[in-house]
Amino acid sequence: MVYVFSVDCSIRNMNDSAKRSLQRLLRRIPFRMLKTSLDKWERLTAEQRRAIDLTPTKRDLIQEILSLCEENKWTEKHIAELQMIYVAENSDQDMWHTYQLVDPDDDARSVDLIQFKEQFKSHFREVQRNVFVKIRKHTDEAVWIRIAWGEGLSPPNNLRASYVVHHLQTPYVYVSSLSSKHKPLLLQALAFSTRHRGIKDANLSGRKLTALRDLLMRQYQHVFTTKFPSPLKEQNQSPLIEKEQSGPSAKRHRMAIEAFGEGALPAIQTAVYKLETKFKDPTNETMTERDEPFRCAVKFSSTNLLESLRSCASSGIASTPLTPLLSSIPLKGRNYFVITDNAPSACSQMSQTKN
């Protein structure tokens, strides 16, 4: 008798907690996005969806979905699906950090989704019990992983889940809302299930997931340095307007395009340079004579940093040829640099980075 009661109680608790987390999730999603997310969530019948479409206010909509939740006995699993759909659609609301997989094993190339899923989940099962992992393939071939972490013996916290995006057979992983406590475990699991021996910080972060991916996968238009300048393009400019200094400006333009490519560039918002170099200024002796490095951070930010830098270079605000510090953002695919004094040339100065 007692046994039956306890089971009943736990089921009710589970339903309650699912309902509560559903309610919290629904409250967080803006009304206009809620409907599109619900449409993609394949848990509602066509009739229910129509009824939802006609609901005018968000409060009514939440009530309706909560009653449906009770009726259909949705669990945390279903709610996690809805949350994943919402986050995948609105990926630019979080900060994404990039990690790079290194030292692939021989069979790294042949890992498929089923294998990856199994490995990843089993790795977690071995290490930590109360973690709720959900893996789903998104439309653009990306594998989305949602991980809700549990503390000690408490159940997984579904509201603060970490998200991981990975395209199979590529060496990059994009992670958002990951606390430093869970980082080692997740990175280990990722390296293990993609059959790599190591994983390191790729020093690239930003809000736009697609931009990070395009930058790392080089999915933008490149221009290769050639010995001969490209043939002149036909200009549909009025013959009455003429540039006096057209030579240097064409050269600047070409150099800017060589560094950053032509056409639209991935929208990276920031670039941070952490300087740990000695202060060098012949006019300021007291600062120059100090032995310890002058520590500071320089941060560039813009809605589309790479395009801004390109137009700075082509309009002559930044001197050309561009310093390798700026041009290595697209070249190396990173936007966090630590600059130290050790190496003699500017280019190699950038290779030392802190993880």
Partner 1 sequence: MSVLKPFSKLPNLDTASILLVENEEQVQQGLAEALVEDSAQAVNVRLARSLPLPLENEKTRPRIDLVVFILNLTSDKSFKSANESLKYLDPGYFLGKVCFMVTNARYASGNMGRLDAVRKMAASLHCPLLFAEVQSPEGVTNAARRLLTILKVASGLVPNTSSLYLSNLTRCTKPPDIDQPSFD
By CB under 8 A, is residue 315 in contact with partner 1?
yes
Is residue 234 a contact residue for partner 1 (CB under 8 A)? no
For 136, left (φ over 0), alpha (ψ -120 to 50), or beta? beta
Asked if residue 201 lies in contact with residue 333, where contact means CB atoms within 8 angstroms, the answer is no
255 is a contact residue toward partner 1 (CB under 8 A): no
Return the range that interacts with partner 1 (CB under 8 A); candidates 116-124, 131-139, 181-189, 312-320. Answer: 312-320
Cα–Cα distance measured from residue 315 to residue 252, given in angstroms and rounded to the nearest whole number: 8
- Beta carbon of residue 234, minimum distance to partner 1 (angstroms, whole number): 17
Nearer to partner 1, 13 or 323 (CB): 323
Q: Interface with partner 1 includes 291 (CB under 8 A)?
A: no
176 within 8 A of 95, measured Cβ to Cβ: yes
The least distance separating partner 1 from the CB of residue 228, rounded to whole angstroms, comes to 22
Toward partner 1, which CB reaches closer, 114 or 241? Answer: 241
**CA separation for the pair 137, 166 (Å, rounded):** 10
The reply to whether 249 sits near partner 1 by the rule CB under 8 A is yes
Instruction: Please enumerate in sequence order all residues whose Cβ is within 8 A of that of 257, keeping only pairs 6 or more positions apart, or say none.
Output: 223, 310, 314
Q: Which of residues 85-144 bind partner 1 (CB under 8 A)?
A: none
Q: Are 336 and 204 in contact (CB under 8 A)?
A: yes
Query: Which part of the chain contacts partner 1 (CB under 8 A), choosing from 19-27, 142-150, 205-213, 311-319?
Result: 311-319
Shortest Cβ distance from residue 246 to partner 1 (Å)?
9
Q: Following DSSP, what letter does each residue of 318-345 receive, concatenated? A: S-SSPPHHHHHHHHHT-SEEEEESSSSS
Can residue 319 be called a binding residue for partner 1 (CB under 8 A)?
A: no
What minimum distance in Å lies between the beta carbon of 319 and partner 1?
11
- Please tell me whether residue 244 binds partner 1 under the rule CB under 8 A: yes
Q: Is the peptide bond before 321 cis (omega within 30 degrees of 0)?
A: yes
Residue with tokens 């120059």: 288
Residues that bind partner 1 in the complex, under the rule CB under 8 A: 238, 240-245, 247-249, 315-317
